[in-house]
Amino acid sequence: MTSKTPRATLDALARPRYFQAFTLIELLVVVSIIGILAALLFPLGKSMIESGNASKCVANQRQIVAGILQYAQENNNRLPGYICEGPWFWNARLSRAIGASPAPTLPYMPYHPSSSTTNTKGVVTLWICPANNPFKKMRETSYGIIQSIYPNDERPNSNGVASTPTLLAKLDKPSKTIALGDCSLTSSSSARIGSDADIAKVHKGGANFAFFDGHVEFLKPVPAYTNRMFRQTGGD
């Protein structure tokens, strides 16, 4: 006794496959929905990335200013000079104080970068703001100290005389005096802020600044460089 396949089943098997695919209108509707969702989520994702970059920048500056304060403690209350040994900037001088060197191959750097301050290529990320990262040379940093506060050069000149040191104790109001901030990476302003043009407004039109008491603030609008918080006397 043989069984017969129902007529409806045979018709279904014989039906061309293209009848089971999406129509053009259905595809357009799906693509439109995906596009709308992407348009709604993109600003949110961008905002989250910017917030993460700003938070990382704050953490970097807080650690760096802690290194500046430690350096002063270990050097008779003196702040580091803008230029230190060789052609290197103040961030090289601070490497021992904060445990992260921008040039670990140099012999006078006692600490090598730790895994928490370097990326997979060995570049020290402590000195780099994620939102301000045209990192071209090992001695460059995304952050700049304030030109009107720090001595220009720690090295003695041809007459054996170095710049007059700045003493941390001479700052009248450390909590209102900026120690460093987001800096434009140009040939004229690298690692030092001496004018409004040297400030990098990389965080939603504003910038992060670390003060001599150790706290970090996001300022928008950014105050003019001539503001008293940038000066050695500090405060209003």
> Residue ranges of the domains in the chain?
48-230
In whole angstroms, give the CA distance from residue 192 to residue 197.
11
| Distance spanning both ends of the chain, measured CA to CA | 105
pLDDT of residue 107: 37
> Which pTM value belongs to this model?
0.72
Residue tagged 């001695």 (tokens): 139
pLDDT along the chain (236 residues), means of 10: 59 57 78 80 69 91 92 89 75 70 40 41 68 61 90 76 83 91 76 91 94 95 91 56
Question: At 181, which helix (H) or strand (E)?
Answer: strand 178-182
In whole angstroms, give the CA distance from residue 198 to residue 184.
5
Cα-based angle 111, 157, 150 (whole degrees, multiple of 5)? 60
pLDDT of residue 9: 63
Q: Between the CA of residue 24 and those of 18, 33, 36, 101, 165, what are the distances in Å?
A: 12, 14, 18, 60, 75
pLDDT of residue 106: 41
pLDDT of residue 13: 57
